[in-house]
Structure formats: C-alpha cells, structure tokens
Structure 1
C-alpha cells in the first residue's frame, strides 16, 4: 500500500461516499489516501476534520475497500499527522455500533469507547471513541517509533 498526499478533496469524497450519513461531506479537512501498490487505485482514505485548536481536538474518519490497507506504516502516519504534525492532544472517532469490525479495531488501538444510544438515528446506536496523544505514544503500536522497548 502506498500513501497518497495532496488530494484531500478526492480522498474526502471517497470516504464520504462510503460512509452512511455523510452525504454532506466533511467540510474543511485534510485527507490522506491509500493506494494499491500494483494498480495505484485508491482503496482507502483517512480524513482529518472538525479540528478545534483550543482544546487540541480533531476527528478522524476512514473508509476502505479492503482490510489490507491498515499496515503498520499507514497506522503510524494516520496518528502521526494529528499528534505529531498538528499537535493535537486527542483524536475522536465516531463508529456505528453495528460496525463490529471497526469497534474491535478502535479498542485494539487503545481508543476509549463511549456508547451513545441513537447516535446514528432512532434504530442505531453509535460509539464515540477518544484517543489521547499519551495513550497513543505508549501503545504497543508506537513503541518502536518512540524508542521504547517491547516487554515480554
């Protein structure tokens, strides 16, 4: 998988088109695409939106055509952008409670879940997940980037 920079509008539209309830798009945002190594086709995207500089918050949304897109390098860039480049202290992720795979992934990454009844409509609950910069930097996913040694 190769990262695609400089095409925020197209990547954000790709993610919005694949995200139920996101017909209006993300507004002012930055996005990073993920392309297939062989075809160059856009297979996934990450959108960074609703940035609030005062409290240092940013929302992240993503969508993909394949589960293969979430490599170690992509994960590193996905969280390096808000935490290391922008200087956020927390990212927020909203996920349908029906999206069991993404709920499982968010929890594995160290996000803290908050279940909100009817967040996605009368018949659909959702999670608001939060991840602080401290929790990310101390996670098993980033130890090698921050000079920490994995313990047995």
Structure 2
C-alpha cells in the first residue's frame, strides 16, 4: 500500500481521489468543495481515499469522509498519515465523521479508533439516521495504535 496526496499542489490527483470517495458514499452525489485528499494505492490502483473538508480553522475542526474498495487499507502508516494531517500538520483539535447508521463497517471502524458517537435521527432523510463521530487530538494520541 502506498499513500498519495492530492491538494492544491496536485489538483488532478486531488479531484480524482475526491471523486473516488464520493462515488463510494451513498448520498454524496454532489461531491465536495474546498478539500484536500489522501489516497491509498495498491499496485498503482486507487483502493481507498480520505477527503478532508468543512475545515474550520477558528474552531480547529475538520471533517473527514473516507471510502475504500479494499479491507486492507487501514495500516498503521495510513492511519498515522490520515490523522497526522489534521492533528499535526494543520493543528486541528477535533476530527469529525458523518456516517449513515446503516454503514456498519464504518461505524465499527470509528468505534475501534476511539471516536465518540452521536446518533441524529432523520439527518440523512426521513427514514435514516446519521451518526456524527468526533475524535479529539488527545483521544487520538492516547489510542493504542500510537504506541511504539
């Protein structure tokens, strides 16, 4: 697995990773605006992506949207890069994920990595709740994956 970055320095890669993620997420047809991306490739093929968006520098909060077609993408180096960007590079104090309550895989991942969850009924429409997950920089740094 290799990590690639999009962003202002590589707008074509940035757009390609964001489109990949949006295509994998139900209800994300509009895509993203004002974002930076991280991609994970395997044998030159994009298998996962993370979009950093809705950044609020005043509050130190950023939202992450992620998707993958491989279950093997969440390696320690990917996790360190994925959370290193918001917490170490741009100084966020909190990362936020919005996940359909029906996305059991992502709900499980967020719970394993120490996110706090808040279930909001009807946030994805009349019949579907969304779970807002938050992860503080303190909780991330205290997580066992960061022990060396």
- In the alignment, is residue 120 of structure 1 matched against residue 124 of structure 2? yes
TM-score by length of 1: 0.91
Q: Which runs of 4+ in 1 moved over 3 A?
A: none
CA distance in structure 2 between the partners assigned to 1:42 and 1:123 by the alignment:
33
Q: Answer with 1 or 2: which has the greater Rg.
A: 1
Question: Which secondary structure state, in structure 2, belongs to the residue aligned with residue 134 of structure 1?
Answer: helix
- In the alignment, is residue 44 of structure 1 matched against residue 48 of structure 2? yes
Question: Which secondary structure state, in structure 2, belongs to the residue aligned with residue 113 of structure 1?
Answer: strand
What residue number does 1:74 align with? 78
Deviation at 1:23, TM superposition (A): 1.0
What residue number does 2:9 align with? none
What are the superposed Cα offsets for residues 66-115 of structure 1, whole Å, 9 maximum, x if unpaired? 11111111011100000000100000001110111111110110000000
Measured on the aligned residues, the alpha-carbon RMSD in Å equals 0.8
- In the alignment, is residue 83 of structure 1 matched against residue 87 of structure 2? yes
CA distance in structure 1 between the partners assigned to 2:105 and 2:67 by the alignment:
12
Which segments of 5 or more consecutive residues in structure 2 lack a partner in the other structure?
7-12
CA distance in structure 1 between the partners assigned to 2:79 and 2:107 by the alignment:
16
TM-score by length of 2: 0.93
Which segments of 5 or more consecutive residues in structure 1 lack a partner in the other structure?
145-152
What residue number does 1:106 align with? 110
CA distance in structure 2 between the partners assigned to 1:5 and 1:91 by the alignment:
18
What residue number does 2:16 align with? 10
Question: Which secondary structure state, in structure 2, belongs to the residue aligned with residue 43 of structure 1?
Answer: strand
